[in-house]
Chains A and B, each alone.
Chain A
Amino acid sequence: DGSTKELLSLTGTVPVNYRGNVYNIPICLWLLDTYPYNPPICFVKPTSAMMIKTGKHVDANGKIYLPYLHEWKPPQSELLGLIQVMIVVFGEEPPVFSRPTT
């Protein structure tokens, strides 16, 4: 409708253990003005040296889809739980891979 809002975003990395190594997956969480009643909007923020691996939980824009977000119910659902779910999910299916250095 053309309206704009100023939102709070949290940017950082999530420590993920994949095949025995720990990687710091860069993510950004956008908190809506209706937070915590609505889940944050989450993105993977690949650096220039990374490429997004689309899959069940990540689309081509890096947007993250998780049951935890879809079934968000405060106060049980909160950021710490969300990040813990990301650590598990990304440990099985990393959302980003480093670009092959030609």
Chain B
Amino acid sequence: KSPTPSAPAPVSL
């Protein structure tokens, strides 16, 4: 089972 794609939360500038 391939891992679920995930991404970091946008960095608030």
Q: Tell me if chain B binds chain A.
A: yes
- Residues of A whose CB lies within 8 Å of any CB of B are 12-13, 15, 18-19, 21, 23-26, 45-47, 49-51, 94, 96-98, 100
A contact patch SS? strand
The distance from the CB of B3 to the nearest CB of chain A, in whole angstroms, is 4
Most chain-A CB neighbours within 10 Å: which of B2, B5, B8, B10? B5
- Residues of B whose CB lies within 8 Å of any CB of A are 2-11
Q: CB-CB < 8 A to B6: which residues of A?
A: 23-24, 98
B contact patch SS? loop
Interface pair B5/A18, CB less than 8 Å apart: no
Residue in A closest to B2 when the chains form the complex, CB atoms: A12
Q: Could you tell me the distance between the alpha carbons of A98 and B9 in the complex, rounded to whole angstroms?
A: 5
Given contacts A98-B6, A98-B7, A98-B10, 19 further A-B contacts (CB under 8 A): A12-B2, A13-B2, A13-B3, A13-B4, A13-B5, A15-B3, A21-B8, A23-B7, A24-B3, A24-B5, A24-B6, A26-B5, A47-B5, A49-B7, A51-B10, A94-B7, A97-B7, A97-B10, A100-B10
